[in-house]
Amino acid sequence: MKSEIKQIDSPDIFCPIEQFVPVKEDDFGILLELSIGIENEDGADIFDIMLCTPKWIMSNFGTSSIIVGLHYLIVLKFNYLEIYNKLRDLFSIKGDDWDEICRKLSYYGHWEFQDYKE
């Protein structure tokens, strides 16, 4: 069993991510919502990852001497194809079942059910 990206959205922009053009290509931060599911099957769970540049980090966390980078993808500039290819590689995970795959995926993105308990 293997995961794949089904869709990429962002609540921070008003266009499809592949059409996004940041005001400053080397200074931006947007939240990405990745719909990830089993390869060649319907259904998906959401994994969030912050896509940002070092300049954005410095302008938002510059007064902090320590920054925890869990669930961040840091790029030097916006290049959709490079970003998509990296995300595709990171979020293409093999496992015996969906729970195992999601546990592995949650190292890269925050899983919508990460802290869920019945």
Report the alpha-carbon distance of residue 86 to residue 66 in Å, rounded. 26
Which helix (H) or strand (E) covers residue 101, if one does? helix 98-105
pLDDT value for 60: 87
pLDDT digits (tens, 9 = 90+) for 59-85: 888 777 888 889 999 999 999 999 999
Q: What angle do CA 40, 49, 62 make, to 5 degrees?
A: 165
**Tokens describing residue 100:** 């195992």
Q: Measuring CA to CA, which residue among 31, 46, 14, 17 is closest to residue 113?
A: 46
7 neighbors 109 (Cβ within 8 angstroms): no
Q: What is the pLDDT along the chain (118 residues), one digit of tens a residue?
A: 999 999 999 999 999 999 999 999 899 999 999 999 999 999 999 999 999 999 999 988 877 788 888 999 999 999 999 999 999 999 999 999 999 999 999 999 999 877 666 6
Domain boundaries, the chain: 3-111
